[in-house]
Every structure is written in structure tokens, then in C-alpha cells.
Amino acid sequence: SQSLGASLRRVRESRGVSQKTLAAKMGVSVPTISMWESDHRRPSIERLAKICEILNASAEDFLAGVGTNELSELLTQMREQISKFLGMPPDKVRIFIEI
């Protein structure tokens, strides 16, 4: 399983965004980003929402690899059921989780 900090780093790096750039867009210091990514501190819910916006990410992006595969399997099942109900492809269904 992967921590929130490790997930933040993974998503940030996958988007090609440096800690310095993310810090500037968030209005925080680079050490703050580093503390979040090393799990020494956690961003507030409001800041997590802003991180998602800046990185064009969803809660699912941060939860991938966190915990067990059960969450991933559950989200896949729910996405498929919602897509069948709405008559649309599963890849068009986005599930957001507010923590």
C-alpha cells in the first residue's frame, strides 16, 4: 500500500510538476510540499482539493495504490454499474471521493 504523501509525489511527478512549481501555485513553501510528500504533515481538505485542481487529478488518482485492492475493485464495479444505468461507457464515469 502507498501513503497519501507517496501518492501525492507519484501524481505530481507523473504530471511533470516540480515541488517548486506546486508550492508556488499553492501559495506554500517547498519544504511544506516536501513534508506532505514525506508524510510528516498532511494537507487540509481544502488544500487537497486545490492540489487536485492544479494537477488535474481526482481523488482516485491519489487513492490508487493506497490501502488494498478492494477499493480499486469496488470503484471499478461501481463505475460499471453506473455506466450501465446511464447507458454510457465506463471510461466516461468519474467517481470523486470527498474525504
Tens digit of pLDDT per residue, the chain (99 long)?
578 888 899 999 999 999 999 999 999 999 999 999 998 998 888 898 899 999 998 877 776 655 555 667 777 888 888 999 999 988 888 887 765
Q: How far is CA 99 from CA 6, 47, 81, in A?
A: 17, 12, 23
CB < 8 Å & 24+ apart, contacts of 40-47: 42/4, 43/8, 45/98, 45/99
